[in-house]
Structure 1
């Protein structure tokens, strides 16, 4: 073995770890948390977004398919409330209702980034910042006071994300959750029941309750997708 060949081998062994680090701009998972606000749309609020906003927060995980696509899971808790006393509609017998409750949301969504998201691969158009859209399927759990509700929901939303460092992501996201229940605003056993205040039954998605989360999130990249060093 010649001296020149030995030097090349030693050089490759020294450079290889740094080459892999350079390639580790892509990761397979993101884990983190989110905090923000939640509001409800239904029989006590059918036209005013962000009315009676309560606190919301939870955990999120993303499986990164590629720079444009990801699958995200969430476990989020939020506070929703409503009051019909300042409502323009008049309910039968002049009755009114108020409610407050905590809801828990477990779901999965498919995310599409409009720009390739990442650092280090600008040759293919990746950017530190991108807007994105999402849609998926979720489950809503709302414990008592009046009755416990467990139902499905369809989340649809938009967001923006920014890669603050090679492994830290920050962003903001708004999602509307369309539930299959009309009882999220039923928290009392007597008086006006917002489940069916006009005695008009709804089928399918008609006359159902929905709620929204607006959150700021921070996630950390895990499990690098290391590429081979090509020399």
Structure 2
């Protein structure tokens, strides 16, 4: 995480050597869609915040570097999708993203004419995530038999291996927004963006169960069962999640930015006549 923050700071300092730079803050919410919430946007939205730097390439294009933090939450009881499964999670996330924005209208900071525009954006992001329950890392419990080759092999009679997942994930952000320049220096935007991942464990749920429902409390795997099948009403190889679909997450909120025009430091008017 320290390396991600350092990278953002270095890139920000590099951009300050050019004109047309905005730096600012983000505040809003984050939410998730996946095996525990397949179709309800904004369900269990949590607070999100972050930093950003935007380089205005032209009146139509801008590039934005962001470091956002938020939380993803899922609960079978809240979504009503599979309440008998009784799974839930919380995943605190950090995203480092680079996006390109296209303005539908010409846009200039400080302009008296071109001071507002809707826009779309897309890019690439690196996500750090760590699904938890009761402040315990679910990854460590191998809830679907990850890194538990002996148990999987015993149940299937064949050599079966499920590798554990990574805490770092690539995603493809895309979304819409509208930005407004209040003055020569201050601008704001309202935006909503989805993130497409190629990953199915933001919620620690993807494939099948691997433990007996009536596992003996003395068994070494009993604690794993608490997190894999809390209701103890499933048998090995019964479906736990849908591995044919991947998880999504979203950030939505408001940005407030300060415009740094390094080309002309002597401007004093509130608005340019553009």
TM-score higher than 0.5 here?
yes
Give the unaligned 5+ runs of structure 2.
1-18, 132-136, 140-165, 206-222, 231-237, 266-274
The Cα RMSD (Å) is 2.6
TM-score between the two structures when normalised by the length of structure 2: 0.63
2:199 is matched with 181
Please point out which of 214, 217, 230 is paired with 2:252: 214
Residue 13 of structure 1 corresponds to which residue in structure 2? none
Query: Structure 2: how far apart are the matches of 1:197 and 1:67?
Result: 51
> 1:143 deviation in Å?
3.0
**Contact kept in structure 2, 1:81 and 1:100, CA below 8 Å:** yes
* Structure-1-length-normalised TM-score: 0.75
Deviations along 1:33-71, one digit per CA (max 9) or x if unpaired, are 000011100011111111001000001111110111011
Name which of structure 1's ranges 212-221 and 110-119 shifts more when overlaid on structure 2.
Answer: 110-119
Shift of 1:129: 0.6
- How far, CA to CA, are the matches of 1:76 and 1:192 in structure 2? 32
Could you tell me which residue of structure 1 aligns to residue 37 of structure 2?
A: 45
Are residues 218 and 152 of structure 1, via their aligned partners in 2, closer, same or farther at CA, if it must alter by over 3 Å?
same
In structure 2, what is the equivalent of residue 136 of structure 1? 123
For residues 166-198 of structure 1, what are the alpha-carbon distances to aligned partners after superposition, in whole Å with 9 as ceiling and x for unaligned?
0111111100011122111129953249xx944
Name the structure 1 match of 2:188: 170
The offset of 1:121, in angstroms, is 5.9
Partner of 1:8: none
For 1:29 and 1:182, the matched residues in 2 are separated by 36
Superimposed CA distance per residue, residues 131-171 of structure 1 (whole angstroms, 9 cap, x where no aligned partner): 10000001110135223621100000101110011011111
Ranges in structure 1 where 5+ consecutive residues have no aligned partner: 1-26
Structure 1 residues 221, 197: closer, same or farther in 2, change over 3 A? farther
SS where residue 254 of structure 2 aligns? Answer: strand
- Pairs within 5 Å for 1:46-195: 46-90=38-82, 94-118=84-108, 127-143=114-130, 145-147=137-139, 149-186=167-204, 189=224, 190-192=227-229
Is the 1:140–1:179 contact (alpha carbons within 8 Å) kept by the matching residues of 2? no
Q: Which has the higher strand share?
A: 1
